[in-house]
Every structure is written in C-alpha cells, then in structure tokens.
C-alpha cells in the first residue's frame, strides 16, 4: 500500500499511528534516500509508543534503546556500515526474542541488510514531485498486514494528515 506524506508532520503522524498499534516483536525496515524521512517517522513511532525522551538517529552508537514506552523501541541506523560490517553484527539477535527483551526494532538504511527478517514490515520512502514524500508499506506477515489495512480503513493514516 502506498501513501502520500505531503509534509514532515504527515510522516510523523504515520509513525505515531504505527506506534500505537504495532506489537512487540515487530521489525520495521526503513529504506529511502538521504533525507527521505526515516528518522522523522521513527520519532513519530516513539511518540505513539509513549516515549518522551527525544529520539535522534544513533550515529555514533549502533543502536539507541528506549525502554519507557508501551513496548521497548530499538532504533538502529546502518548508514555508516558496509555489508560485511552489517553481517558481522549478528543483528538476528534483535529478532530472536531469546536474546533481547521483545520490542519494536526500527532499522534505518535497511538496504544494507543481506539477510532480511522474513516477517518484517517494509517502509520505503521516496521523494515526491510536490516536495513531500511517498511511502510504500508492505509485509508478508498476515497479522501485521491486517493491522495496516485496519489503520487505512479507519482513515487514521490518511485523513488526519
């Protein structure tokens, strides 16, 4: 499904809507060019989860963890890593619930991942002609798909932007 995000507030709002409904264990894979809105969306996600700490991209650390919301949020940004480095990190630990407190894992620059978690929600952001952004949401996971369709059918994702 594809949505128009006319301004940064719309990107933020999409994140908030997702943050209110997505269950622990969700992996969000964000892709898109520099400045396409990945961090903005994750900031909204944090708001939707009830996180009040300001969210900024983990540039010098690999991951920022926020434990104060409805479920934990793990924010990763792979921008500075090459493929070998990403593989060496064993990020699978983040979607293996035996190793980490189950939470929502949001990964910027998910294009860098060779081994994609099969049940992830993909958010691909692109620049739109009018200065805003477009986002394509997709997932193979039936329960996540149902959640996204439910958000859409209630107009939460589009009407309020």
Ligand X SMILES: Nc1ncnc2c1ncn2[C@@H]1O[C@H](COP(=O)(O)OP(=O)(O)OP(=O)(O)O)[C@@H](O)[C@H]1O
Q: What residues line the site for Mg ion (CB under 5 A)?
A: 38-39, 57, 108
Identify which of residues 39 and 139 has a Cβ nearer to ligand X in the complex.
39
Measured from the CB atom, the residue of 80 and 96 that comes closer to ligand X is 80
Question: Quick check: 117 and 95 in contact, CB under 8 A?
Answer: yes
Query: In the structure encoding, which two tokens stand for residue 132, read together?
Result: 């805003």
Report H helices in 62-126.
Answer: 83-88
CB nearer Mg ion, residue 38 or residue 112: 38
32 vs 48 by CB, closer to Mg ion: 32
Token pair listed for 23? 């269950």
In the list ligand X, Mg ion, none, the entry touching 26 (Cβ below 5 to 8 angstroms by class) is none
Q: Report angle CA 145, 93, 17 to the nearest 5 degrees.
A: 30
CB 57, min distance to ligand X, A: 6
What per-residue string of b and e applies to 101-135 under the rule 16 or more CB within 10 Å gives b? ebbbbbbbbbebbeeebeebbbbbbeeeeeebbbb
Rounded to a whole number of angstroms, the minimum distance from the CB of residue 42 to Mg ion is 8
Least Å distance between CB 95 and ligand X?
22
Cβ of residue 108: shortest distance to ligand X, in angstroms?
5
Report the alpha-carbon distance of residue 128 to residue 134 in Å, rounded: 6
Site residues, ligand X (CB under 6 A): 5, 7-8, 10-11, 32, 34-40, 57, 108, 132-133
Q: Which does 34 bind (CB under 5 to 8 A by kind): ligand X, Mg ion, none?
A: ligand X
Q: Give residues with Cβ within 8 angstroms of 9, minimum separation 6.
A: 161
Least Å distance, CB 80 to ligand X, is: 10
């Amino acid at each position: 499904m594809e949505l128009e995000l006319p301004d940064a507030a719309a990107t933020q709002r999409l994140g908030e809507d997702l943050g209110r409904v997505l269950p622990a264990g969700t992996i969000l894979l964000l892709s898109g060019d520099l400045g396409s809105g990945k961090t903005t969306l994750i900031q909204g996600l944090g708001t939707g989860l009830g996180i009040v700490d300001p969210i900024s991209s983990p540039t010098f650390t690999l991951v920022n963890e926020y434990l104060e919301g409805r479920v934990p949020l793990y924010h990763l940004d792979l921008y500075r890593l090459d493929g070998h480095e990403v593989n060496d990190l064993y990020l699978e630990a983040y979607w293996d619930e035996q190793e980490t407190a189950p939470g929502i894992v949001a990964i910027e620059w998910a294009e860098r991942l060779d081994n994609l978690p099969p049940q992830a929600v993909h958010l691909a952001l692109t620049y739109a002609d009018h200065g805003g952004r477009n986002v394509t949401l997709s997932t193979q996971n039936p329960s996540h798909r149902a959640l996204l369709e439910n958000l859409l059918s209630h107009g939460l994702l589009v009407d309020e932007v």
